[in-house]
Amino acid sequence: MYGDTMKSAIAVCLCLCLPLLGATFNVRDFGAVGDGRTVDTVAIQKALDACQPAGGTVELPPGTYLSQPLKLHSKTVLQVDAGAILQAGTNQADFMKTPGDWLKARGTDFVPLVSGRDLTEVTLTGAGVIDGGGAAWWGAAEQARQVRPGYTLPRPNLIALERCKNVRVENLTLRNSPKFHLLPADCEDLVISNVTILAPEHAANTDAIDPSGRRILITKCTLDVGDDNVAIKAGKASPGREFESEDIAITDCTMLHGHGLSIGSETAGGVRHVVVRNCTFQNTENGLRIKSDARRGGLVEDVSYENITMSNVAPVITLTCLYQNNSAGDTNRTSAATAGPAASTGSHIPLYRNIRITNLTATSPKAAGLINGLPGNCISNVVLENVHITAAKAFEIRNARGVQLKNVAVKVAAGDPFLLQNAEVSGLDGQ
C-alpha cells in the first residue's frame, strides 16, 4: 500500500521535464542593477515576460536584486545563480493589492514576492537566495499573537504557486518570509529537491513548505523555521477528486527548529497515500503530527512514517482530532483531555485511519506522544513497530481502536509509559 506511494512520487521526479533549453534572458540585459538599493522589479518582470510564448530561462547573476512582487509564466526557468539574492523590499504597501494599512488587511489582500497560477513546466532553481525581508513584518505578528494566542496576523507569503503542473523547486535557499515560505496549492507533479529554508525560531507562522495536490516529492531539504517544517494541506474538496492531497512522499529531509512535519490542520478535502522516510528531527516543537478539528476536518488515511530519528523533540508523535489552532508553547492552550463536548461537534469531523510508524528512535523533554480521537469517531488502525522513545511524560492514547504496538519501548521519568482512555491497544506486554 505505502510502497506504491513512494514509487509514484519518485516517478514524478523522473518524468518531469528538465529545465527548458530555450533562450536565456539575463535580467541585467533588461536593466536590472543588482546593487541592493535600486528597485529591479520592472527589469526582472520584463525578462520573465520575454520568455513568452516559447519559454526560456530568466537568469539572475551574482548581485542583490531588490524587488516587489513578480509573476511567473509557463515554460519558464527562474535561475538565481550562486551569489545572487532576490530580495523582497521592506515597504509593506508594495505587497498589497490595494495599498493601505497592512495591519487591518485580510490574508487575500496580500501578494507574494513570487507567484504563478494555472501554469505548466515551471522551474525555480540555482544556488542563490530568495529572501522575503520578514523582519519588517514579524514584530507586529508576534505582538498580535501574544494578545491572541494562536492568531495569525495576515501577511504575504514568499512563493505561492496555485494549480500548477510539472513544477520543480531545487537547490535554492529560501529565507525570512513574512509568512509561509513555499506554498504550492493544488499543484500536480511537483518536486522540491535540495532546498534550504530558514527563518528565526520564533518568527511567527513562517512555515517552510505547505503543499497540497497530487504526486508530490519533497526530498533532501533542510528546514529550519518558526512554524511547521512541512504542513500538508487539504482545505477544500476538489471537483472530480475524492482526495485533495494524495500520493505525497517526503524523504531524506532534516527538520531543525520548527513545529515538525504535519498533515493539517485543514483536512476537509481529504489526504491519503503519504510516505515519510529517512528523515531527521532536531529541536523541533513537534515531530510527526496529524492535526485537525471538527471545523475543518476530513478523512486522512494510508500514511506511513519509516526510518525516523529525533532528538529533543516535544512531543514525538501527535495524532489529534482536537487541534486548538495554537502551538504547545501558548500559555492558555486548551488541554485535549479537558476539551468540552462542543469540540466533538461540527460540520467537518476528522477521521484518521491506517497509519503506520516504523523504525523510529526519539528523545523528548516532554511527552512521548498523543493519539486523541473523538468519542464517537475514534482514530483506527494505527501500527507502531520498532519504535523507541525516551521522554519525560507518558504516551497518551484516547478514543482509538486497533492500535498495535510491535517491539515498542517507551521510557519515562516516572509512572506508566502509556495512559489509556477509551482505547483498544494490543502489544502492551512489558510496558
Contact 20, 57 (CB under 8 A): yes
The neighbour count for residue 222, using CB atoms within 10 Å, is: 17
Quote the pLDDT of residue 347.
Answer: 74
Which letter does DSSP use for residue 290 in this model?
Answer: E
User: What whole-number distance in Å separates Cα of residue 370 and Cα of residue 328?
Assistant: 13
Does residue 237 carry a pLDDT above 90? no
Per DSSP bridges, beta strands 222-224 and 114-117 are: unpaired
**β-strand partners of 192:** 169, 218
User: What whole-number distance in Å separates Cα of residue 84 and Cα of residue 64?
Assistant: 6
User: What whole-number distance in Å separates Cα of residue 205 and Cα of residue 238?
Assistant: 26
From residue 342, give the alpha-carbon distance in Å to each of 134, 151, 201, 228, 294.
37, 20, 33, 27, 9
The neighbour count for residue 139, using CB atoms within 10 Å, is: 12
Contact 350, 375 (CB under 8 A): no
User: What whole-number distance in Å separates Cα of residue 120 and Cα of residue 74?
Assistant: 5
Tell me if residue 29 falls in helix, strand or coil: helix
Residue 429 binned pLDDT confidence (cut-offs 50, 70, 90)? confident
Record the pTM.
0.94
Which letter does DSSP use for residue 102 in this model?
Answer: G
Give the containing element (helix H, strand E) for 291: strand 288-291
**β-strand partners of 42:** none
From residue 29, give the alpha-carbon distance in Å to each of 26, 40, 53, 141, 200.
6, 12, 19, 39, 35
Give the containing element (helix H, strand E) for 3: helix 2-15
Reply yes or no on domain 228-328+336-431 having CATH 2.160.20.10. yes
Cis peptide bond upstream of 265, omega within 30:
yes
Percentage, residues of the chain above pLDDT 70: 90
Contact 291, 322 (CB under 8 A): no
Quote the pLDDT of residue 329.
Answer: 47
Tens of pLDDT, residue by residue over 1-29, are 555 655 655 555 545 544 445 899 999 99
Mean pLDDT score of the chain: 92
Quote the pLDDT of residue 19.
Answer: 47
User: What whole-number distance in Å separates Cα of residue 317 and Cα of residue 93?
Assistant: 41
Give residue limits of the domains in the chain: 1-221, 228-328+336-431
Contact 238, 187 (CB under 8 A): no
Least confident of 33-37, 209-213, 308-312, 339-343: 339-343
Closest Cα partner for 355 from 342, 343, 369?
Answer: 369
User: What whole-number distance in Å separates Cα of residue 45 and Cα of residue 27?
Assistant: 9
Contact 367, 389 (CB under 8 A): no
> Same CATH topology for 1-221 and 228-328+336-431?
yes
Closest Cα partner for 284 from 256, 308, 326, 246?
Answer: 256
Q: What is the 3-state secondary structure (H, E, C) of 42-82?
A: HHHHHHHHHCCCCCEEEEECCEEEEECCEECCCCEEEEECC
Quote the pLDDT of residue 345.
Answer: 64
Tell me if residue 228 falls in helix, strand or coil: coil
Quote the pLDDT of residue 11.
Answer: 56
Tens of pLDDT, residue by residue over 28-49, are 999 999 999 999 999 999 999 9
Quote the pLDDT of residue 18.
Answer: 46
Q: From 3.90.226.10, 2.160.20.10, 2.40.50.140, 3.90.1150.10, which CATH number describes the 1-221 domain?
A: 2.160.20.10
Quote the pLDDT of residue 236.
Answer: 87
Tens of pLDDT, residue by residue over 244-289, are 999 999 999 999 999 999 999 999 999 999 999 999 999 999 999 9
Quote the pLDDT of residue 324.
Answer: 74
